[in-house]
Amino acid sequence: MKIVRARTDDDEISYGGVEPEGIRLYRGSPFVAWEPTEVVIDFDSARLLSPTIPTKVVAVGRNFVAHAAELNNPVPEEPLIFIKPSTSVIGPAAAIRLPPHSKQVEHEAELAMVIGKVARHVAVEDAASYVLGYTVGQDITARDLQRRDGHFTRGKGFDTFCPLGPAIETEFDPLEGQRLTCRVNGVTRQDGVLSDMVFGVAELVAFITGVMTLLPGDVILTGTPEGVGPLVDGDLLETEIEGLGVLKNPVAT
């Protein structure tokens, strides 16, 4: 199932399920309890929002060998994790805002895992049952500030620096080696395969929940392949994962 969150014509915000005829609206949320309504809205005219409102986004650095190498970093021996604030999340079509503090804002296309239930000290073999599904994500990064600060909080924490969407796909298995691509103004910048991750999705759930409890709706960003590069005012950023769709975001000041 593909789960979206949308603003309807009467300005209500609802979760929905994508069906052949359009988006069927649901009462409640997939993270607590929900039930379908009779209302189906047109997919093309729906205003989609981020498909989840996480309490935190836990991101993983240097999880693709070639990306670690392009920034002259070693591949870590255990997952390198950091937090992006919940307020950095935006949805499809929302603008990534370039902060005046930075002269080097870059895209990082990533697979986003969406947690479905409270997860603490989860074993690798149980990890899949805690994942509601997957969506497309971006770990937008002010590279100059990340380098200058020596930690990631400011460089990766600005408002709008975590686009997510368009939908949470509950039937997705990232072990099939799907392609993860990123285009700026139609030109391909990143083109990787998910099976090249150093630490796989189940290992990441186990590692992170050994440190902190993940709540329903929380997101794990699983790292970016090589090819990260600059974004400037007026760019259109398109991030695509086979089976999950395309996430489009304009870039603005």
Interface residues with Zn ion (CB under 5 A)? 108, 139, 224
Identify which of residues 139 and 169 has a Cβ nearer to Zn ion in the complex.
139
**Buried/exposed code over 213-236 (b: 16+ C-beta within 10 A; e: otherwise):** ebebbbbbbbbbbbbbeebeeebe
Q: How far is the CB of 141 from Zn ion (least distance, A)?
A: 7
Q: Which residue is nearest to Zn ion (CB)?
A: 139
Residue 248 main-chain phi, psi, to 5 deg: -115, 130
Identify which of residues 73 and 253 has a Cβ nearer to Zn ion in the complex.
73
Q: How far is the CB of 105 from Zn ion (least distance, A)?
A: 13
Identify which of residues 126 and 191 has a Cβ nearer to Zn ion in the complex.
191
Residues 210, 87: Cα–Cα separation, whole Å: 24
Identify which of residues 14 and 88 has a Cβ nearer to Zn ion in the complex.
88
Q: How far is the CB of 221 from Zn ion (least distance, A)?
A: 6
Q: State whether residue 9 is helix, strand or coil.
A: coil
Identify which of residues 108 and 218 has a Cβ nearer to Zn ion in the complex.
108
Residue 32 region by backbone torsions, left for phi larger than 0, else alpha for psi between -120 and 50, else beta: alpha
Element (H, E) at 230: strand 229-230
Amino acid at 85: P
Q: How far is the CB of 13 from Zn ion (least distance, A)?
A: 28
Q: How far is the CB of 82 from Zn ion (least distance, A)?
A: 9
